[in-house]
């Protein structure tokens, strides 16, 4: 039986094969999975795993996500191309080069069976003491982040890989890592408008199909809760004022910024009410099960909540339809021809060595 709650959850699991537990969730309608290093040990195994995930999923079009940004946040290891940090790409300030880089990244992801890259980072690196964003950001200049970030996500899209701009409304000015604690940004609204929101506004105007939330409190926008749980930020600002019509996905629910203060069940209910469409419950299969179960039970109790859930499901399904990679069958010859090919290595070298 397909669970209405499972369709709004992106799950994670331990191991390098499809376990019975994740298979059961996929059969229940889990939106898809996100892979980390714990799931991967080389191109052939990755492609086989993603193929098996497709086979286990109703409709054979699950989301297969990965954090492949370049630099220190890159899940694919050699023989895949090793890309420099996005700060280096941003310093060259060449939108066409950014698009070409994203196209190359997308080709390598597609040949392995992925259809969603949780990139680009649209945060502005405005705080030198930020412990988590740094050179993941294209620049400390909002306009540069907007220009290069938009070109980058267009390159992913062009090849059929879904992009995801992160972390709305901006993680670049924080002094804490939201994986470990709850950061707060005290800047007034006027500063946020001129700094944090510039890249996101540009991406939205160019129809970016997905954005990820920030587990960060913004004193000038809503001092009461992290942005992920804020109706003022996610509905009033993002949806109503900025006009974002795409899929909104939470950052991971196991991060200390939210998990230290809320149970998974509370996070998904409050998050959906705030405007989140898809929840990353990637710590283990049990977390994903708790998330989908809470959504289902709340929808059974509340007609208003069920209506919100169905609207979120429409957005998730719309994204999945847009980035279809059905019935994926690994092609070893194609994998060897694309991963770390000379063209991609030369492009990475150009980014690394060219002077701004």
- Asked if residue 303 has a cis previous peptide bond (ω within 30° of 0), the answer is no
Q: What tokens does 226 get?
A: 């992290």
Are 116 and 161 in contact by the 8 Å Cβ rule? The answer is: yes
Catalytic residue among 60, 179, 236, 284: 179
Q: Give the tokens for residue 321.
A: 């339809």
Among 117, 251, 262, 277, the one annotated catalytic: 251
Q: Catalytic: 266?
A: no
Interhelix angle 303-322/285-301, nearest 10 degrees: 130
- The candidate with the shortest Cα–Cα distance to 322, out of 136, 115, 95, is 115
Query: What are the residues facing 168 on neighbouring strands?
Result: 213
Note if 207 is an active site residue.
no
Assess contact for 29 and 2: CB atoms under 8 A.
yes
* Nearest C-alpha neighbor of 71 from the set 88, 54, 50, 47: 88
Q: What are phi and psi of 355, to 5 degrees?
A: -85, 140
* Nearest-angstrom CA–CA distance, 262 and 260: 6
pLDDT (0 to 100) of residue 1:
52
Distances (CA, A) of 177 to 164, 171, 280: 20, 9, 18
CA 267 to chain centre: 18
All domains in the chain, ordered by first residue: 80-275+294-351 (3.20.20.300)
Which residue bears the tokens 């060259």?
92
pLDDT beneath 70, residues of the chain: 1-2
């Amino acid at each position: 039986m397909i669970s209405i709650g499972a369709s709004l959850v992106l799950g994670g699991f331990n191991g390098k094969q499809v376990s019975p537990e994740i298979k059961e969730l996929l059969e229940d309608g889990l939106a898809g999975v996100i892979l980390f290093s714990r799931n991967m040990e080389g191109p052939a195994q990755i492609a086989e795993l993603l193929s098996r995930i497709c086979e286990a999923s109703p409709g054979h079009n699950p989301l297969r996500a990965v954090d492949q940004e370049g630099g220190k946040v890159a899940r694919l290891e050699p023989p895949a191309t090793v890309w420099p940090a996005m700060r280096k790409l941003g310093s060259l300030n060449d939108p066409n080069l950014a698009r070409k880089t994203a196209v190359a990244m997308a080709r390598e992801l597609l040949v392995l069976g992925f259809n969603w890259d949780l990139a680009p980072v649209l945060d502005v690196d405005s705080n030198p003491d930020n412990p988590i964003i740094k050179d993941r950001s294209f620049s400390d200049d909002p306009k540069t982040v907007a220009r290069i970030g938009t070109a980058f996500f267009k390159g992913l899209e062009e090849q059929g890989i879904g992009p995801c701009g992160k972390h709305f409304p901006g993680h670049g000015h924080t002094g804490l890592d939201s994986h470990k604690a709850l950061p707060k940004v005290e800047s007034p609204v006027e500063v946020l408008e001129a700094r944090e929101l510039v890249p996101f506004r540009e991406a939205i105007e160019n129809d970016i199909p997905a954005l990820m939330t920030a587990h960060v409190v913004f004193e000038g926008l809503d001092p009461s809760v992290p942005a992920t749980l804020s109706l003022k930020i996610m509905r009033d600002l993002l949806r109503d004022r900025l006009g974002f019509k795409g899929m909104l996905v939470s950052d991971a629910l196991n991060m200390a910024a939210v998990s230290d203060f809320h149970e998974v069940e509370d996070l998904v209910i409050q998050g959906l009410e705030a405007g989140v469409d898809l929840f990353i419950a990637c710590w283990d299969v049990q977390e994903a099960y708790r998330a989908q179960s809470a959504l289902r039970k709340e929808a059974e109790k509340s007609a208003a909540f069920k209506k919100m859930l169905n609207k979120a499901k429409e957005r998730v399904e719309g994204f999945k339809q847009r980035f279809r990679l059905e019935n994926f069958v690994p092609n070893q010859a194609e994998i060897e021809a694309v991963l770390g090919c000379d063209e991609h290595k030369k492009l990475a070298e150009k980014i690394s060595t060219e002077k701004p």
